[in-house]
Chain A
Amino acid sequence: MTDADPARLYRTVRLIRRFEERAIALVRSGHIVGGIHPYLGQEGIAAGVCAALGDGDLVTGTHRGHGHVLAKGADPARMMAELCGRETGLNRGRGGSMHAADLSIGVLGANAIVGASPAILTGAVWAHRQRGNPVLGASFFGDGAVNEGMLLEAFNLAALWRVPVLLVCENNGYATTMPVAGAVAGTITGRAEAFGIPAVVVDGQDPEAVRQVTAAAVARMRDGGGPELVEARTYRFDAHHTFEHSVRLDYRPPQEVADGRSRDPVAIQGARLSPADRATIDAEVEATLDAAVAFALAGPEPDPAGALDHLYASGLTGRGGS
């Protein structure tokens, strides 16, 4: 669907931004239990990457995964219901924020184990292609993930077997509180290049720049190229997670936060639209999210009797615990 329409791209970043702000409010009001990892500030990456993918293509996300799932086209109402733990959620309330998935649109899921999903995605894309279905994949992960051994094993497999997966590193400068400089020897792009994987750095705050870089990579991959890596430089506007405030972590200089926030992907993409078009989209997004929140809160909580439903796809049931 490679979508270069600036309005579409704006709508996506705006939708993710407002979804996150609504979700944070629902955490504060106790409707979302367990907290979330807000994607605020990083919206341009998911939006830009997914705009360059086709509908049948696959993605995997991270613990900070709302943006990836929404950008790929998941229903915001069912997504919000999932965060609220409702039976009407994408995962019927069994996954929550960190596991939101919609396999029907190629979202193999947010994944809460850092660095775990590129290998899964590689296998899924490979398998589809074996069966004659020429899909691609994009796997999002943070700068912290590049120190996980399995991620690098996945790079090797994808390169060796020429599996077209786009490895999207969202470098927001920190893994929780650990700065990149304190964690990554060498460079992130160098990690990929060591496996013969082409790698580029892009301004992750500019959704259109991300889309263009991705579109070029996707074109090469559709032409038979193997994996590529995009390191999107970004900044997380908010805390690592919604309970960070309660532990008062002090690791980012205020000036750095202010500088980071000054480069806002929603504003950057919004500037490409007329104020009137922007207002129309904003109102439409607001209406969508009003409906999403209402849908989420109206959804029934799952029946406790079904707490172990779906444990086994085969229908196996084990013995109860008491």
Chain B
Amino acid sequence: MPRLSYRKALTRALADEMTRDEAVFLLGEDIRVGASNVTPGLLKRFGPDRVLDTPLSEQAFTSFATGAALAGMRPVVEFQIPSLLFLVFEQIVNHAHKFPMMTGGQCAVPVTYLVPGSGSRTGWAGQHSDHPYSLFAHVGIVTVVPATPADAYGLLVSAIRHDDPVVVFAPAGALEVRDDVDFATLAPVPLGRGMVRRAGDDVTVVAVGHLVHDALAVAEELADQVSVEVFDPRTLYPFDIDALVDSVSRTGRLVVIDDSNRSCGIAAEIITSVLERVPLTAPPRRVTRPDGAVLPFSPALDRAVQPGRAALAAAIHHVTKDCP
């Protein structure tokens, strides 16, 4: 079976959607040569009118995409680094997201914002290592964080077909993941649908993005001590709370691991949403970046503020052993 990398899955999704729908076009910095390695080859296939290199004008080209969407197109905007989302938060939140409501339903703004390489890229330091998905979930923008190549393909396809703005965070830590995939089985993955990646009985671990792989590894390591269920929400907004409640109703315990900051982060939201509906056997735990984290340069320091396997294992022990 062919090996498909996460990165190539994104490229394939873009190409398939551009083939399927003339209204889909791409814009972003250096995408004609594919500097982030997600769009190589697309210029040759689809031409310069559908693969637009933009000047370094994030705010204008993000709103340009809004305008193009208002005129019936389906733009996909690629951002080279996640911090650029801070620059265009205004354009996405205040305009793209608000247009349908403010016009009383006169329009749709189907733009996809693709962020390949979000989160830490080890050694890229403070301004290149953010993972701001919680912000978008908070304002109510459809926010997806695929963990696997098949999901990267399927969620990006669904994002492009969706009639509202969608931010697709492709974590740097997942880009090199490769899976055996039968290309014929690649298909759209519905937005807002989570899945159990590994069944277990004692505790549910919710893991976001690349951390799904860490959670699976930790679950395997601890297999002789505790039976861990790993839940991958895939979409952070809207969140598949029903599926998670099902899982936690069986395990009675909850740990969330997510690569965003602690205060007002998605982990807090996930835990509260579960607690509103299910009594837990033990107090829940979350493993996140620290409050207000800025990623330090030194790889040792960078790792120290990222949620990792050791902290996850400790949290799992805490909710299972310390609160039997």
Chain A interface residues (CB < 8 Å from chain B): 89-95, 99, 101-104, 108-109, 111, 113, 116-117, 119-128, 130-131, 149-150, 153-154, 156-157, 160, 308-316, 318
Contact flags B92-127 to A (C-beta < 8 A → 1, else 0): 001100011111111111100000000000000000
13 CB contacts below 8 A, A to B, read A94-B103, A94-B104, A108-B70, A123-B65, A127-B72, A128-B71, A128-B72, A150-B63, A160-B55, A308-B101, A312-B100, A313-B108, A316-B142
Contacts A108-B67, A123-B68 supplied; 9 other A-B pairs, CB < 8 Å = A109-B102, A113-B94, A119-B61, A119-B63, A120-B63, A123-B71, A311-B100, A314-B163, A316-B238
Residues of chain A within 8 A of B103, CB atoms compared: 91, 94-95, 99, 101, 103, 109, 310
A109 to B61, CA, bound (A): 19
Counting chain A CB atoms within 10 Å of each CB, the highest count among B60, B69, B73 belongs to B60
Between A and B, how many residue pairs show CB distances below 8 Å?
Answer: 152
A71 to B245, CA, bound (A): 54
Q: B182 at the A/B interface (Cβ < 8 Å)?
A: no
A312 to B75, CA, bound (A): 17
**Chain A nearest CB, measured from B97 CB (Å):** 9
- Find out whether the CB atom of A120 lies under 8 angstroms from the CB atom of B67: yes
Q: How many residues of B contact A (CB 8 A)?
A: 45
**Chain B nearest CB, measured from A235 CB (Å):** 30
Q: B71's closest neighbor in chain A, by CB?
A: A127
Residues of chain B within 8 A of A131, CB atoms compared: 71-73
Q: B143 at the A/B interface (Cβ < 8 Å)?
A: no
Q: B37 at the A/B interface (Cβ < 8 Å)?
A: no
**Chain B nearest CB, measured from A103 CB (Å):** 5
- Find out whether the CB atom of B68 lies under 8 angstroms from the CB atom of A127: yes
- Find out whether the CB atom of A123 lies under 8 angstroms from the CB atom of B90: no
* Known contacts A101-B106, A123-B66: A310-B59 contact under CB 8 Å: no
Residues of chain A within 8 A of B54, CB atoms compared: 157
Q: B49 at the A/B interface (Cβ < 8 Å)?
A: yes
- Find out whether the CB atom of B238 lies under 8 angstroms from the CB atom of A89: no
Residues of chain B within 8 A of A308, CB atoms compared: 101
Residues of chain B within 8 A of A150, CB atoms compared: 59-60, 63, 91
A102 to B213, CA, bound (A): 48
Residues of chain B within 8 A of A121, CB atoms compared: 67
